[in-house]
Amino acid sequence: MSAQTPDETPVVLEVTGIDVHFEGVIALDGVSLTVRANQIVGVIGPNGAGKTTLFNAVSRFVTPAAGTITYHGHSLLDLPTWRLAHLGIARTLQGLGLWPTLTVLENVIAGAPSRTPLAADMLAFPSADRRTRTLREEAMANLVELGVADRAGAYPGALPHGVQKRVIIARALMARPSLLLLDEPASGLSATDVNQLIELLGSLRSRMAIALVEHHVDMVMAVSDTITVLNLGQVIASGPPEAIRANSEVANAYLGQTVAHA
Ligand SMILES: Nc1ncnc2c1ncn2[C@@H]1O[C@H](COP(=O)(O)OP(=O)(O)OP(=O)(O)O)[C@@H](O)[C@H]1O
Ligand SMILES: [Mg+2]
């Protein structure tokens, strides 16, 4: 279950008043979001509300026309995308995005940010072998944590959807993130898989902050400390799960909505 995070907990991500426009479409309009250490923040809203665009702005796939985004107090807007994994920001995409011709283990290893070799590594022999071994061990440890180590040698296409979803989280963990952005991790999962995902997020939060975009509202309510609701690019509500559940504007935004999953 969610735990309230006190306000004095350090802020990991601070998004303030961001606007994102796409040729005539206002995807985000003055959106703000705060994620604190060891907190799980849910982001919900109807299809097209701007949830993925918010993650795209944080991961620098799109550049906001206005507003600020800071990570541990430093502006992200001046940084190129490739630096983010080095800083400890990892994300999973709304689709699966696994390479079909790589094994599960290779897919996970590919999630490791390239680390500049230390001088000691370069002098030691054979450093490349050692780095490869370290990455394999780290990737295997992540697969163990996700409960899918027995599939390490399989190709993603041969695996059930629920297993593939775990592999993409294992891959994101290779960045050793302090901020993990998950875009619809529960889509297409069985009830059992969703329950296991809830448990996993509860355990990951002890070492990172998590922002979670999800249409599975019951799951978001179960794991989140706070929830931000987007509708038509604007934040229409933000607060603890019980307040969001009782909010009539939120109910109206969802009412009659058939949610399409990617
Ligand atoms: N690259 C793009 N070019 C043009 N329009 C875009 C682009 N990305 C998103 N949009 C538009 O911005 C709006 C917000 O889209 P976004 O994908 O962020 O919504 P979402 O809340 O993630 O929806 P869903 O729940 O369906 O995933 C939509 O109107 C969408 O069509
Ligand atoms: Mg989306």
CA dihedral sign, ordered 4, 244, 198, 81: negative
Q: What percent of the chain has pLDDT over 70?
A: 89
pLDDT at 198: 95
Q: Which of 4-13, 112-121, 142-151, 241-250 has the highest mean predicted lDDT (pLDDT)? A: 142-151
pLDDT band at 128 (very low <50, low <70, confident <90, very high): low
Alpha carbons 56 and 184: distance in angstroms, whole number: 14
Q: Which residue's CA lies nearest to atom 26 of ligand 1?
A: 47
Alpha carbons 111 and 104: distance in angstroms, whole number: 11
Does 93 fall in a domain?
Answer: no
pLDDT at 93: 79
Q: What is the mean pLDDT of residues 103-125?
A: 72
Q: Hey, which of 53, 181, 184, 215 would you mutate to test ligand 1's pocket, going by the most ligand atoms within 8 Å of its Cβ?
A: 53
Boundary-marking domain end, from 142, 174, 206: 174
**Domain shared by 36 and 151, yes or no:** no
Boundary-marking domain end, from 118, 140, 174: 174
**Domain shared by 205 and 233, yes or no:** yes
Alpha helices, DSSP H only, in the chain?
Answer: 51-58, 82-87, 104-109, 119-123, 127-145, 161-173, 191-204, 217-223, 241-245, 248-254
**Domain shared by 138 and 196, yes or no:** no
Q: What percent of the chain has pLDDT over 90?
A: 69
pLDDT at 159: 94
**Domain shared by 69 and 125, yes or no:** no
What mean pLDDT value characterizes the chain?
88
**Domain shared by 112 and 168, yes or no:** yes
Q: Which residue's CA lies nearest to atom 12 of ligand 1?
A: 27
Does 94 fall in a domain?
Answer: no
Measuring CA to CA, how many Å separate 74 from each of 2, 32, 68, 78, 95? 28, 16, 10, 10, 29
**Domain shared by 137 and 66, yes or no:** no
Q: What is the mean pLDDT of residues 35-49?
A: 96
Boundary-marking domain end, from 139, 174, 209: 174
Verify whether ligand 1 is closer than 6 Å to residue 50 (CB atom).
yes
Residues of the domain holding 60: 1-88+177-262
Does 184 fall in a domain?
Answer: yes
Name the amino acid, one letter, at 101: T
Partners of 16 in beta bridges:
68
**Domain shared by 80 and 183, yes or no:** yes
In this predicted structure, the answer to whether residue 58 has a pLDDT above a threshold of 50 is yes
Q: What is the mean pLDDT of residues 66-94?
A: 87
Alpha carbons 31 and 67: distance in angstroms, whole number: 8
**Domain shared by 82 and 109, yes or no:** no
Total of domains in the chain: 2
**Domain shared by 212 and 84, yes or no:** yes
Verify whether ligand 1 is closer than 6 Å to residue 52 (CB atom).
yes
DSSP state of 9: S
Note whether 198 and 222 are within 8 A (CB).
yes
**Domain shared by 23 and 145, yes or no:** no
Q: Which of 67-71, 187-191, 251-255, 256-260 has the highest mean predicted lDDT (pLDDT)? A: 67-71
pLDDT per residue as tens digits for the range 92-112: 877 778 999 999 999 999 988
In this predicted structure, the answer to whether residue 44 has a pLDDT above a threshold of 80 is yes
Verify whether ligand 1 is closer than 6 Å to residue 91 (CB atom).
no
pLDDT per residue as tens digits for the range 163-215: 999 999 999 999 999 999 999 999 989 999 999 999 999 999 999 999 999 99
- The least confident of 48-52, 80-84, 136-140 is 80-84
**Domain shared by 135 and 157, yes or no:** yes
In this predicted structure, the answer to whether residue 260 has a pLDDT above a threshold of 80 is no
In this predicted structure, the answer to whether residue 74 has a pLDDT above a threshold of 50 is yes
pTM over 0.85: yes
Note whether 237 and 229 are within 8 A (CB).
yes
Token digits of residue 169? 């989280």
